[in-house]
Amino acid sequence: MSWHEWKRGVEIEPSIYAADFANLGSQIRVLLEAGVRIFHFDVGDGHFVEQITIGPIVLESIAPIIHDGGGILDCHLMVSEPERHFEQINAAGGDSVTFHVEACADPAAAIRLARELDLGVGVAFNPETPVEAAAAAAEGADLVLCMSIHPGRSGQSFMPEACARIAELRTLLPDYVSIQVDGGIWAANIAEVNNVGADLLVAGSSIFWQGDLAVAYRTLSGMLLRATTTDRL
Ligand code: DX5
Ligand code: ZN
pLDDT digits (tens, 9 = 90+) for 107-161: 999 999 999 999 999 999 999 999 999 999 999 999 999 999 999 999 999 999 9
Q: What is the pTM of this model?
A: 0.97
**Catalytic residue, candidates 142, 182, 199, 231:** 182
Q: 57-91 pLDDT, tens per residue? A: 999 999 999 999 999 999 999 999 999 999 999 99
pLDDT at 75: 99
| Residue 20 designated active-site | no
Span from the CA of 68 to the centroid of ligand 1 (angstroms):
25
Which atom from ligand 1 is nearest to the alpha carbon of 156? 14
DSSP the chain: --HHHH--SSEEEEBGGGS-GGGHHHHHHHHHHTT--EEEEEEEBSSSSS-B---HHHHHHHHHHHHHTT-EEEEEEESSSGGGGHHHHHHTT--EEEEEGGG-S-HHHHHHHHHHTT-EEEEEE-TTS-HHHHHHHTTT-SEEEEESS-TT-SSPPP-TTHHHHHHHHHHHS-TTSEEEEESS--TTTHHHHHHTT--EEEESHHHHTSS-HHHHHHHHHHHHHHHHHHHH-
Band the pLDDT of 232: cuts 50, 70, 90. low
Please say if the pLDDT value at position 39 is more than 90.
Answer: yes
